[in-house]
Structure 1
Amino acid sequence: MKRFFKIVLLAIVLQSFQCSDSNEADDSITASQLETKKQEIQNYINSFSCSESLGCGFIAFGSKPCGGPLSYLVFPNSVNLPKLQEMVKAYNEMNRLYNIQTNAVSDCMVVAPPTEVKCVNGVCTIIK
């Protein structure tokens, strides 16, 4: 009985020295989550069509490990801009945290914003 008590006590003591934090795993962001969020934003943008009269806009998208956007998304001006901005802001923050988690590296080159976007055959397109 003494031996059983010592084993149980040892197990309890050893368990109290574990270093992992259960909240860490809950806060991690996966590539799959990023892709799902990206697709959600693309689907939202694609649910609107553009026209010559309304035109198109663009927004910085993603987060490079060195800072700055990964790319720019073009969208018809008929979207609900505050909603799109909120969706993109959430994605950019997720991407930033993912980069930190994975110790991501990049080329650190600045991605220049488009200088001209137009509606071409009902689709917003970067001209230059």
Structure 2
Amino acid sequence: MKFLLKLFVLALLLQSFQCEDNNSNPITLEQLNFKKQEIIDYIAGFECNNSENCNTIALGVKPCGGPVEYLTFPSSVNLNELEAMIESYNQLNLEYNIQTNAVSDCAVVLPPQTVECDNGGCEIVVN
């Protein structure tokens, strides 16, 4: 009888130390879209002078791995701040993929080969 009581107490203790359930606050597509728009709006606050001032950065996390897309930005952007925003978005995107058991086409998205400055903003040139 003492063994069963000890086993019961042990089970209760182990249950109290269980890991927190990550699905208690599921991430929504609206949250992802809002964070992405914040990044786009941040970049839009800076202008480029010429195409040499334009750069690209990977955004998003495909369930198979690799970025979802690339954004362009002028070199006048605070790169540390932009990278922190991207990292935060990518972490949220990864958690969303896990929570929703997301799948993707697993196609590799390559960085754009050519970006140019057009009317003060950097844009991808599609060949």
TM range (shorter): 0.7 to 0.9
Equivalence for 2:121: 123
Equivalence for 1:76: 74
Equivalence for 1:94: 92
User: 1:113 and 1:63, CA in 2 relative to 1: closer, same or farther beyond 3 A?
Assistant: same
Distance 1:22 1:54 in 2: 47
Please state how far the C-alpha of 1:29 moved relative to its aligned partner.
1.1
Gaps of 5+ in 2: 1-19
Please state how far the C-alpha of 1:123 moved relative to its aligned partner.
1.5
Distance 1:100 1:116 in 2: 33
User: 1:109 and 1:54, CA in 2 relative to 1: closer, same or farther beyond 3 A?
Assistant: closer
The CA deviation string for residues 69-92 of structure 1, in whole angstroms up to 9 with x for no partner, is 000010111000010001001101
Distance 1:104 1:24 in 2: 14
- Aligned CA RMSD, in angstroms, stands at 1.9
Equivalence for 1:43: 41
Match of 1:72, SS state, is strand
| TM-score, normalised via structure 2 length | 0.78
Gaps of 5+ in 1: 1-20
User: 1:23 and 1:61, CA in 2 relative to 1: closer, same or farther beyond 3 A?
Assistant: closer
Distance 2:93 2:22 in 1: 19
Equivalence for 1:52: 50
Fraction of identical pairs, as percent: 55
Letter of the 1:95 partner, please give it. Answer: N
Matched, 1:29 2:35: no
| TM-score, normalised via structure 1 length | 0.77
